[in-house]
Structure 1
Amino acid sequence: MPLSTAVKRKEMHTRVVTCKGYLREDDLWDIEGNMVDTKPYRFGNIDRGGHIEAEEPLHGMWVRLTIDDQMKVHAAEAVIDYSPYSHCPKITPDYSKLVGLSLGLGWNKTVRTLMRGTAGCTHLTELLGPMATTAFQTVFSGRSEGTKQGFDLEERSYERPVMLNTCHSFATSSPVIQRDFPDYYEEG
């Protein structure tokens, strides 16, 4: 179902976020995120030669996290290809501070604390949120595809699902948990 009809309007900004997950040949996982911001009009910018053309990226950024099956970060790399200021790319090495952290409950809060204010780039840090979701989708779908050990719903041989109580449908009292993970279902 689409959104309702909007009032007459003019596009002013577009942000495209793309996240992809990969199984590596060494059995680790790479999660890559890319963010691109554009505007449909030309505007002034001193650091980029006086202006940025319409549809030319204002921001163009990448992050790669290499994680294991337990979602622990083994490597972190950030790159800024486009930014409004020439000083922006100097922060990218600081994203190596993510190594050793684990994606899971508290990830977003930990990242926002670690990379807050002048310790990070707002846009790179924002990108880490959807990358965490992509990591879960990648690792758990990769496991169910048979590329890794994982949940076997038919034989009910699984560990406590990490997604319990992370959203409405994964509430321990939901019909989804009652059906797919009955050992963890709780009357609500």
Structure 2
Amino acid sequence: MTLPDAQPRTRLHTRKFVYQCYLRDDGLWDIDGELSDVKDYPYMLHSGEIPPHEPVHNMHIRLTVDDSLTIKEIVARTAHAPFPDCMQTAGPMQAMVGVTIGPGWRKEIEQRIGGVKGCTHLRDLLSNAATAAYQSVSAHALHAHLNDRNSAMTQGERPHFLDKCMVWALDGPVVKEYEPHFYVSPSSEQGK
């Protein structure tokens, strides 16, 4: 399914986020991310004109995390940016080493490298890397668990994704069918 046909229009800007996730031979995980901003017209900045289809921004990060999603290493590179000083913005990213991706992730980013302590675009890239990390590290663990025919369903600790999306609502049919021990009937919710 795609979006419906649009009204006549002219594309002016494309922003892309791409994340690739790798399980390393040493058991750690690499989350590689790239952000690019490209204009379809000559774009004037304080520092000069960027030709059409040339990146205004092109930035890369690599987060190395363990199974608990704690950042062990971080590398950031800026290939294209409006100002030469933007090339210096990778250093502050080191303040994120030791942080665990999870609840409060965006708040940690803001406290450690927010505002003038870091780069807006690298923060965007880092912020969205959390979802890629969950989709690789956590999803891989769940996949292995569900493929183990001798393993019970997730009866212990509540999975992080429950009650974070309308499909995984605790009182919904998906939880009732696939995670029934966490299911809460709508009538018991009203009694709270």
TM over 0.5: yes
Aligned to 1:92: 90
Distance 2:16 2:8 in 1: 23
Q: How far apart in 1 are the matches of 2:87 and 2:129?
A: 20
| RMSD over aligned Cα atoms | 1.9
Range 169-178 or range 87-96, more displaced: 169-178
Correspondent of 1:121 among 119, 122, 125: 119
String of CA shifts for 1:129-184, please: whole Å, max 9, x gaps: 321111011013322454xxx45685325342122222212222222222222221
Q: Are 2:153 and 2:179, in contact at CA under 8 Å, matched by a contact in 1?
A: no
Deviation at 1:7, TM superposition (A): 2.1
> TM-score normalised to the size of structure 2?
0.86
* Number of equivalent positions: 183
Q: TM-score, normalised by structure 1?
A: 0.88
Mapped partners of 2:7, 2:164: distance in 1 = 35
1:28-107 matches, within 5 Å, as: 28-45=28-45, 47=47, 50-107=48-105
Residue pairs, 1:98-177, within 5 angstroms: 98-146=96-144, 150-151=145-146, 155-158=151-154, 159-177=157-175
Mapped to 1, the partners of 2:166 and 2:143 lie a distance apart of 25
Task: Tell me the residue number matched to 2:190.
Answer: none
Equivalent AA in structure 1 for residue 101 of structure 2? L
Q: Partners in 2 of 1:113 and 1:3 — Cα distance?
A: 38
Q: 8 Å contact 1:153–1:180 — kept in the other structure?
A: no
d(CA) in 2 for partners of 1:112, 1:177:
33
**Are the structure 2 counterparts of residues 95 and 112 from structure 1 closer, same or farther at C-alpha, using a change threshold of 3 Å?**
same
